[in-house]
Amino acid sequence: MGCRNLVWFGWGKVLSNYQPINDGVEKVIAEPKILVSEGSAMVDVQTVSITIASASVTLAAIYYMWQIRHQNKVRQTDLLMRLYSALYSEEFTEALTRFLTADFKNYDDFVEKYGPSIPSDNPVQIAYQMVMSYFEAVGELLHKKLIDIKTVEDLFHVQLYWEKVEPLMKDIRKQLNSPKLFEWFEYLYNEMKKREQRK
């Protein structure tokens, strides 16, 4: 019986069919095409699997980002609705009316007419505290980018309110030894002024 030949490829051994021929030597009939074909099929399956896995990860990431954006929009909408509701509540509307109709020339005149700012049970003083605290909160929300300046512009007359209280602010800060008192209200006003100047 003749010698049997083994055919090797770089990635593995090829099994061959052996058929005897007349001279007693076994003829090696290799079938590399089938094996290569099988190998290609294996590669194709792996490639498809990797592609599907990659696509799944990408889609999951996109969906996660969409969910985050959607949740942020929901939170922002909820926040705006709360601000809007507070702004047009009966209590705050009355405070705004007192705030805007208060008549004074300067801080001393204001204190003489309405008493010291803290503590006070005077309705005008209370109104000023309410209005300034409200816009302090709006200014901080803007600074933290939780609301956008276009929304602020659409909803609030910030310049009107700040310019009403500005004559008092320097002396109130001095009296309370708090140079940054209502700094976010002032920041809000300055940002609105910048926006107006860019138009």
* Single-letter amino acid, residue 164: K
CA 35 to chain centre: 54
pLDDT in tens, 67-117: 676 676 777 778 888 888 888 899 999 999 999 999 999 999 999 999 887
> Which amino acid is present at 35?
L
Can you spell out the DSSP letters for 31-69? -HHHHHHHHHHHHHHHHHHHHHHHHHHHHHHHHHHHHHH
Q: Provide the whole-model pTM.
A: 0.64
Over the stretch 9-51, which tens digit does the pLDDT of each residue have?
Answer: 333 444 444 444 455 444 444 444 444 444 444 556 677 677 7
What is the C-alpha separation between 191 and 60, in angstroms, rounded?
38
